[in-house]
């Protein structure tokens, strides 16, 4: 047969044709590759199977365009569960090449493949992409004793080349997705910054107007109007905080997030924050434990913003009647004395899948619920800009512990 003559020329010709295949995406790469193998070896069908961990199965992501491939899909043999075994699974699990000319007599092959597809000759080669075994390529013929050992060696070489092309296609896909996501995120962030800036301009006259209406309600003794205006004022204050957070995110991204460092009594700042954020309405107590006066050099307003985010987050996730414990202490490190603030709650904890990205922009620890997830992101950035850090430890069902670390000066040092 022509395909078994001149093996070196056959390999060279195949490589030249493989290199002509565009590698824009994985499927667009594998489809012409499987067609090329089928044409070169005179096979009745060639499949590229990739492992799908979500189904624990090998799935034929593409097949050569031949009638036997259509029959395979009709019989539901394009998805093969690992637990069912068969020669496709065997090649994938062992990484060894399989060749036979009497598949219908193979007791380890799936009955559906033997009786449904009536394949007689088969070559199976493991498919590696980026140095990782990802699946296998199956080459089939309805004729008995059709493939030779030389064909198997040819298949091993070609499948190796296909693995390189497929890996390059996946990298191209990933780069394209990342570029699209980066552009989308950049556009969204720019839009958010513009909207936040405009909102802040609208909030100032709204706040002034509410203050004026509040004074009128007090003069007239209209208690109901006073209560309603207080509720509206609280909502406007929350909106103002959100707008401020959005603008801070924009400042961080543009490198204009500034601090004005001065000596700050960290323990006093923590107690003020705890007193403000305690929630007697839902009986969440905030308890502060301190070893004494601890002075850090930092921006008091930014540090208070960081602490408010941490304590408010702990209070929000605490059960009714729960306690948020805030512990302030100093620790000796190789680079000097550091202040630590531990904020510990009794809530449900942070989900394991959320924990690695809890400080990311827009991340939320409450799947399915609203919220932009800016608080912890800003708290982390404030810690970092103060040459400190913010960490978290959490076990589901046992609450969370956020630890803020800052370089500090002891009280006597700050007075020297």
Q: How many CA atoms lie within 13 A of 63 on its CB side?
A: 21
pLDDT in tens, 305-358: 899 889 988 988 888 888 999 999 988 777 778 899 999 999 898 888 888 888
The mean predicted confidence, pLDDT, of the chain is 83
Q: pLDDT > 90: what percent of the chain?
A: 30
- Indicate the fold that domain 2-176 takes in CATH: Beta-Lactamase (3.30.450)
Q: What is the pLDDT confidence band of residue 4, given thresholds at 50, 70 and 90? A: low
Residue 1: the pLDDT is: 41
For 285, residues 6+ apart whose C-beta sits below 8 A from its C-beta are 278, 322, 323, 324
* pLDDT of the residue at 214: 86
If one counts every other C-beta atom within 10 angstroms of the C-beta of residue 349, the result is 21
Q: Closest Cα to residue 32, out of 14, 50, 44? A: 14
pLDDT in tens, 121-167: 999 999 998 889 999 999 999 999 999 999 999 899 888 888 888 88
Domain parsing of the chain, residue ranges? 2-176, 180-253, 262-415
Contact present, 156 and 188 (Cβ < 8 Å) = no
Residue range 43-70, pLDDT digits in tens: 999 999 999 999 999 998 888 888 888 8
Q: Which residues contact 411 (CB under 8 A, 6 or more apart)?
A: 292, 293, 294, 295
C-alpha 4/C-alpha 8 separation (Å) is: 10
- Asked if residues 91 and 124 have their Cβ atoms less than 8 Å apart, the reply is yes
Tokens 């064909």 -> residue: 151
pLDDT in tens, 238-272: 677 777 777 777 777 666 677 888 999 999 999 99
Distance (Å, rounded) from C-alpha 124 to C-alpha 138? 5
Residue-wise burial string across 228-256, b where 16 or more C-beta atoms lie within 10 A, e elsewhere: ebeeebeeeeebbbebbbbbbbbebeeee
Task: Using the predicted structure, report yes or no on whether residue 88 has a pLDDT greater than 80.
Answer: yes
Report the pLDDT value the prediction gives residue 413, as an integer from 0 to 100: 38
Segment 187-224, tens digit of pLDDT: 656 666 666 666 777 777 888 888 888 889 898 888 88
Class of domain 262-415: alpha beta
Which position has the higher pLDDT, 415 or 390? Answer: 390
| Contact between residue 265 and residue 214 where contact means Cβ atoms under 8 Å apart | no
What integer pLDDT is reported at residue 362 of this predicted model? Answer: 65
């Amino acid at each position: 047969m022509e395909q078994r003559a001149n093996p070196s020329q056959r390999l060279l010709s195949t490589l030249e044709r493989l290199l002509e295949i565009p590698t824009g995406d994985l499927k667009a790469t594998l489809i012409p590759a499987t067609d090329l193998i089928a044409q070169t070896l005179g096979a009745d069908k060639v499949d590229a199977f990739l492992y799908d961990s979500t189904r624990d199965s090998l799935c034929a992501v593409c097949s050569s365009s031949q009638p036997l491939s259509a029959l395979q899909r009709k019989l539901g043999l394009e998805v093969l569960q690992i637990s069912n075994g068969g020669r496709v699974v065997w090649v994938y699990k062992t990484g060894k090449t399989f060749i036979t000319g009497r598949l219908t007599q193979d007791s380890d092959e799936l009955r559906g493949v033997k009786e449904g597809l009536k394949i007689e000759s088969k070559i199976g080669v493991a498919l590696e992409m980026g140095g990782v075994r990802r699946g296998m390529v199956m080459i089939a013929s309805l004729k008995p004793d059709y493939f030779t050992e030389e064909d198997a060696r040819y298949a091993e070489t070609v499948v190796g080349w296909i693995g390189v092309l497929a890996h390059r296609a996946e990298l191209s896909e990933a780069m394209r997705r990342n570029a699209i996501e980066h552009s989308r995120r950049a556009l969204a962030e720019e839009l958010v910054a513009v909207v936040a800036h405009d909102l802040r301009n609208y909030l100032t006259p709204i706040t002034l107007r509410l203050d004026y209406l509040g004074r009128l309600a007090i003069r007239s003794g209209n208690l109901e109007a006073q209560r309603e205006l207080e509720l509206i004022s609280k909502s406007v204050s929350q909106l103002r905080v959100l707008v401020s957070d959005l603008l801070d995110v924009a400042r961080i991204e543009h490198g204009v997030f500034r601090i004005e460092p001065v000596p700050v009594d960290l323990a006093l700042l923590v107690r003020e924050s705890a007193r403000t954020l305690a929630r007697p309405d839902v009986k969440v107590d905030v308890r502060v434990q301190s070893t004494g006066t601890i002075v850090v050099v930092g921006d008091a307003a930014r540090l208070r913003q960081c602490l408010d985010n941490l304590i408010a987050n702990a209070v929000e996730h605490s059960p009714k009647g729960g306690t948020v414990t805030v512990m302030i202490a100093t620790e000796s490190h190789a680079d000097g004395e550091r202040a630590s603030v531990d904020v510990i709650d009794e809530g449900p904890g942070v989900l394991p899948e959320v924990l690695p990205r809890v400080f990311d922009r827009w991340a939320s620890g409450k799947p399915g619920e609203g919220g932009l997830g800016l608080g912890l992101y800003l708290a982390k950035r404030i810690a970092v800009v103060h040459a400190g850090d913010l960490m978290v430890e959490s076990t589901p069902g046992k609450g969370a512990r956020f630890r803020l670390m800052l370089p500090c000066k002891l009280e006597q040092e700050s007075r020297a």
